[in-house]
Amino acid sequence: MNSSTLSNAVKPLAIVILAAGKGSRMRSPLPKVMHKLAGKPMINWLLDSCAALNPDKIIVVAAPDMDDVAAAAAPHDVVFQTQQNGTADAVKPALPLLAGFDGQVLILMGDEPLIPLDALRQMIAHDGLSALVFNTPHPHGLGRVLLNVDGSLQNIIEEKDCDAHQKLITLCNAGTYCVPARQLKPWLEGIGNNNAQGEYYLTDMPKIAAAQGFSTHTFTIEWTQSWGVNTRVQLAAHEAMAQNILRERHLNAGVWMQDPSTVYLWHDTKIGEHCRLEPNVYFGARVVLESGVNVKAFSHLEDAHVGANSTLGPFARLRPGAEIGEDVKIGNFVEVKKSTVGDRVKLSHFAYVGDADIGEDTNFGCGAITVNYDGFNKHRTMIGKNVMIGSNVNLIAPIEIHDGAFIAAGSTITDNAPQDALVIARSKSEVREGWAAKFRKLKNNTKEKRKAS
């Protein structure tokens, strides 16, 4: 960052986000900014950052057919860029909404969702024109930044317009600018298209501002924070950065991760203090873990709530609608979907619980399942408190197992079980002495006759 004068007064702030880019280089029908990081569209990552700056207004520039971008940007103003003639041309549709506005205008690229807030705060705290820049050992395809001897910003040149010497420069343009609102329109009108692409670039603004006696500033950020997302490769790289941001946030909040790089989080994942996450745990949308939850390796959770001090996994799966109480044990290869599991319940291994309510202190045995689907409709299973469901039990819904009932192993239950009853629903075993020996002798004789023939 070069030396400059801080603005003592807090000025009004407007933010313009350029979000009209298509996903053509991603080979995607989605607009570029609607591609997701940790389950949230890039435009919404950027809007969340903007909200932290307390702007007076946010204007999103989209293409006319981008209804999904407009919906994601709501309730903020959305204007439309009818044709794409460069970044400077993209800002012009926002000008009518900035008429009479006196303050700072921060211009952001919608495909750069992870710009650090501190850098943006520094930009809006300074007078004149400011731009974000970064150093990279791989500047190919990027605009080069030229500085004056005093460190102020002289010019930004798109790579196709650079000469051989300028292409060696490794200080590059991040595409983010902050300008005085009163100067934005005249500066935009002063930008021409005398360049290799024949387009109107915001990169010409620093040269215009400096020529008019305005101070120009640069703020340097890490190159990994400033790259735009144009390809699937770059989207994957940003996903990795977003995951690291979320992991660090949870680690700093008191969550233990044995191998953070293998834990995948959603943008809205909520994890309480003293939770423990073993390797290879995946969080989908809308997961809440209360304090002290232990999630063992290779577990998958989505749209689920887990009470304090419960244990999941390894290889547990919580599907949407799973409401797990406190001190619950959900073991390996157990799946829970759209069910309420009471406090201190044990589902230790190889079980399926779907469309069910299980009361406190119940034990759900190995291989037991709720049979909730008849081929046409889903039905509910109601299990009371302190119930024992034996191994390999099939509970055919709709059904109710009352408090204290004991369901014998291997039973298929189709009727309600009374309170404290023992229910057995399996065939009686039959023993035929010597049958196996006679059967083997018969089969061996048949085999010998076939060989002889």
What number is the average pLDDT over the span 264-283? 98
In this predicted structure, the answer to whether residue 1 has a pLDDT above a threshold of 90 is: no
195 pLDDT above the threshold of 60: yes
**Average pLDDT rounded to a whole number, residues 348-376:** 97
**Which comes out higher in pLDDT, residue 11 or 44?**
44
CA geometry: angle at 312 spanning 360 and 416, to 5°?
35
Question: Strand 317-318 and strand 329-337: pairing?
Answer: parallel
Indicate the pLDDT class of residue 398, thresholds 50, 70 and 90: very high
pLDDT above 70: residue 6 = no
User: E strands within 355-401?
Assistant: 356-358, 363-364, 369-371, 381-383, 388-389, 394-396, 399-401
pLDDT in tens, 149-188: 999 999 999 999 999 999 999 999 999 999 999 999 999 9
pLDDT attached to residue 228: 84
* Contact (CB, 8 A) for 155 and 206: yes
pLDDT at residue 3, as a whole number? 38
Contact (Cβ atoms closer than 8 angstroms) between residue 393 and residue 407: yes
pLDDT of 2 reads 40
With 0.95 as the threshold, say if the pTM is over it.
Answer: no
Query: Per-residue confidence at 440, pLDDT binned at 50, 70, 90?
Result: very high
- pLDDT, mean of residues 190-198: 88
> Do 153 and 145 touch, CB atoms closer than 8 A?
yes
306 has a pLDDT exceeding 50: yes
Rounded to whole angstroms, how far apart are CA atoms 446 and 296? Answer: 54
Contacts of 185 (CB under 8 A, 6+ apart): 95, 98
Distance separating alpha carbons of residues 208 and 203, to the nearest angstrom: 10
Give residue 363's pLDDT. Answer: 98
* Mean pLDDT taken over the chain: 94
Q: Residue 221 — left, alpha, or beta (φ > 0 → left; ψ -120 to 50 → alpha)?
A: beta
Classify strands 322-324 and 340-341 as parallel, antiparallel or unpaired: parallel
Classified as helix, coil or strand, 73 is helix
Q: What pLDDT, in 10s, does the model give residues 72-111?
A: 999 999 999 988 888 999 999 999 999 999 999 999 999 9
Q: Distance of CA 361 to CAs 22, 72, 335, Å? A: 54, 44, 19
Question: What's the mean pLDDT in 109-133?
Answer: 93
Joined together, the tokens standing for residue 126 give: 């300074």
* pLDDT above 60 for 420: yes
Distances (CA, A) of 108 to 15, 24, 49, 88, 115: 7, 21, 11, 12, 9
Q: What are 181's two structure tokens?
A: 């609102």
| CA-wise closest residue to 393 among 419, 370, 361 | 370
Closest CA to 407 of 369, 452, 372, 350: 369
Does the structure show a pLDDT above 60 at 271? yes
Do residues 289 and 307 make contact, with C-beta atoms less than 8 angstroms apart? Answer: no
- Our CA angle for 247, 250, 254, nearest 5°, is 135
Distance, in Å, from the CA atom of 384 to the CA atom of 199, rounded to the nearest integer, reads: 70
The span from the CA of 19 to the CA of 42, in Å, is 10
Please tell me whether the peptide bond between 398 and the residue prior to it is cis, using omega within 30 degrees of 0. yes
Residues taking part in catalysis: 349
Give CA separation, 370 vs 381, 389, 446, in Å. 7, 11, 45
Burial pattern 217-243, b for ≥16 Cβ within 10 A else e, equals bbbbbebebbbbbbeeeebeebbebbb
Give the integer Cα–Cα distance in Å for 31 and 67. Answer: 10
pLDDT reported for residue 8: 47
- Check residue 258 and give its pLDDT: 98
Q: How confident is the model at residue 429 (pLDDT cuts 50, 70, 90)?
A: confident
- pLDDT of 299 higher than 70: yes
What is the β-pairing status of strands 369-371 and 394-396?
Answer: parallel
Q: Are strands 399-401 and 171-180 parallel, antiparallel or unpaired?
A: unpaired
Q: In whole angstroms, what is the distance from residue 242 CA to residue 156 CA?
A: 29
Write down the pLDDT at residue 9.
57
Angle, alpha carbons 326-327-331 (nearest 5°): 115
Half-sphere exposure of 448 (CA within 13 A, CB side): 6
Cα distance between the two ends of the chain: 96
pLDDT of 418 higher than 70: yes
Give dist(CA 321, CA 323) in Å, integer: 6
The answer to whether the CB of 321 falls within 8 A of the CB of 338 is yes
**Which three-class secondary structure state does DSSP give residue 234?**
helix
Looking at the chain, the whole-number percentage of residues with pLDDT higher than 70 is 98
3-state secondary structure of 425: coil
